[in-house]
Amino acid sequence: MSSQDWRIGVAGLGTVGSGLLTFLGENPGFAPAGGKVSVTGVTARSRTRPRPYDISNLPWFDDPVALASAPDVDLFVELIGGSDGPAKAAVEAALKAGKPVVTANKALIAEHGAELAALAEAHGVPLLFEAAVMGGTPAVKVVREALVGDELLSISGILNGTCNFILSEMESGGRAFAEVLAEAQRLGYAEADPTMDVGGFDAAHKITILAALAFSCAPNFAACEVEGIDQVELLDIRMAKDLGYRIKLIASADRSEAGVGVRVHPSLVPLDHPLAQAGGALNALFIEGRRLGRIFIQGAGAGAGPTAAAVAADIADVMTAARRPVFQRPAGELTAFAAVDRSRSEVRAYLRLLVKDEPGVIAAVSETLAEAGVSIESFLQKPAAETEGVPIVLTTHQVSEAVLSEAVTQIARHPAVLQAPRLMRIARI
Ligand code: HSE
């Protein structure tokens, strides 16, 4: 154990950066290895913006790269965000200067993790990012450290609090997507650009990181299939519930003979499943290992206090000289994960159609499905609302994704089908 004092530079003073300064201010005795922590420099986009923590007595840097390279900074904490630009430049500068880096930046690690791991390794310093996934709820350390003795098979869960909040509120309040998104932004859950949240990209960054750790791969964000919640309608939420399911944005990663598959999409989860019970802005995760079976983690995935606690835990690891390869293996030995060919994978699905209320329509839809070899598990028709047409919903038995997709394309062409069919997978968890 090292009992040296650590001088840290903090780049980015938004929610998490201010949370970290508040944490350090409130815990002057934070000294996991005996040595103390002092902040010897800060940088942010605006020096004067009102913040919950007073920064007037801290040395200010206009340039994050200058802070990362400053001689009196031993450890660089990057909380700027964004996959490129100043965050990446500053992290690279710190690693090249031989300084350990702690970051909460999921986009940076998911998109450039392999090259940064190589840089960290070349300079013999740690690169840690517990706060990048599930905020303060431990996920990275669980996979990287606690489960290293197991062989992980799959990971799936809810990794975006904003989407979970929106879906939960749509269901409980009977409110439309846009109205609840505006509330999530007011409450400060949503990312600066809400597309990152509702488009599924934030969850995709996080599951890309967990997949890399679980399967010792170089993170490959481009290979992650991403679908957000922006097309989920209140009608789908209600119909799914009538069928015994709740719609959740599920991020999943698994390893099979086909390779490592990573995807994010709205899924139907049985109402009594723990993931269906995780409401509001909670995050939740199932991890399945060959020896361990399944474990379940649930907690806050955002917020100043919880996320700063995760940053502090990484700082503690640096101070105690805990060392592991960034993604389980030396950077040069990481395998690649490419996009998996899904056409042969099997799913159960939910299909919602808006059709003309006239004789023979349901028969025609069933015939198309039967001819394609898609077996219907359940069927639900709701009385026509004020709008034109009548919604029908069905769920299928297990079927190949390619077969299902072709059948749905054919159904969409039927003149009695009034809008693009809505297809969602039923979660296999
Ligand atoms: N915007 C993210 C979420 C929090 O809603 O989960 C930070 O990753």
pLDDT given for residue 1 in this prediction: 43
CB of residue 53 inside a 6 A radius of ligand 1: no
Query: Which atom, in ligand 1's list, is nearest to the CA of 163?
Result: 5
The first and second tokens of residue 25, run together, are: 């201010």
Catalytic, out of 88, 106, 206, 248: 206
Residue 333 CA: distances (Å) to CA of 70, 81, 217: 32, 28, 9
Look up the pTM and report it.
Answer: 0.94
Instruction: Tell me the C-alpha distance between 363 and 426, whole Å.
Output: 24
pLDDT given for residue 193 in this prediction: 78
Q: Three-state SS for 388?
A: coil
Q: Three-state SS for 102?
A: strand
**What is the DSSP annotation of 153-205?**
EEEEEE--HHHHHHHHHHHHH---HHHHHHHHHHHT-S-SSHHHHHTSHHHHH
Beta bridge partners of 218: 336
Across 225-252, b (16+ Cβ under 10 Å) vs e yields ebbbbbebeebbbbbbeebebbbbbbbb
Q: If you take atom 8 of ligand 1, which residue's CA is the nearest one? A: 302
How far does residue 208's CA lie from ligand 1's centre (Å)?
15
Structural domains present in the chain? 6-136+307-333 (3.40.50.720), 139-300 (3.30.360.10), 343-426 (3.30.70.260)
How far does residue 420's CA lie from ligand 1's centre (Å)?
30
Q: Which residue carries 């028969």 as its tokens?
A: 363
Q: If you take atom 7 of ligand 1, which residue's CA is the nearest one? A: 302
How far does residue 202's CA lie from ligand 1's centre (Å)?
7
How far does residue 166's CA lie from ligand 1's centre (Å)?
12
CB of residue 189 inside a 6 A radius of ligand 1: yes
How far does residue 219's CA lie from ligand 1's centre (Å)?
19
CB of residue 161 inside a 6 A radius of ligand 1: yes
| Beta carbons of 203 and 135 less than 8 angstroms apart | no
CB of residue 162 inside a 6 A radius of ligand 1: yes
pLDDT string in tens for the chain (429-residue length): 457 899 999 999 998 999 999 999 999 999 988 889 999 999 999 999 988 888 999 999 999 999 999 999 999 999 999 999 999 999 999 999 999 999 999 999 999 999 999 999 999 999 999 999 999 999 999 999 999 999 999 999 999 999 999 999 999 999 999 899 988 888 877 766 789 999 999 999 999 999 999 999 999 999 999 999 999 999 999 999 999 999 999 999 998 877 889 999 999 999 999 999 999 999 999 999 999 999 999 999 888 899 999 999 999 999 998 889 999 899 999 988 877 777 778 999 999 999 998 899 999 999 999 999 999 999 988 776 667 889 999 999 999 999 999 999 999 999 999 999 999 999 988
The first and second tokens of residue 348, run together, are: 């159960």
The first and second tokens of residue 186, run together, are: 């007011």
Q: Which of 79, 80, 183, 191 to mutate to test the pocket of ligand 1 (most atoms within 8 A of CB)?
A: 191
pLDDT given for residue 399 in this prediction: 95
Range 357-362 contact pairs with CB under 8 angstroms and sequence separation of 24 or more = 357/384, 357/389, 357/390, 358/416, 360/416, 361/414, 361/416, 362/392
CB of residue 299 inside a 6 A radius of ligand 1: no
pLDDT given for residue 186 in this prediction: 83
The first and second tokens of residue 399, run together, are: 């079927």
How far does residue 319's CA lie from ligand 1's centre (Å)?
27
Neighbours of 386 (CB within 10 A): 4
The verdict on whether 206 is a catalytic residue reads yes
Q: If you take atom 4 of ligand 1, which residue's CA is the nearest one? A: 302
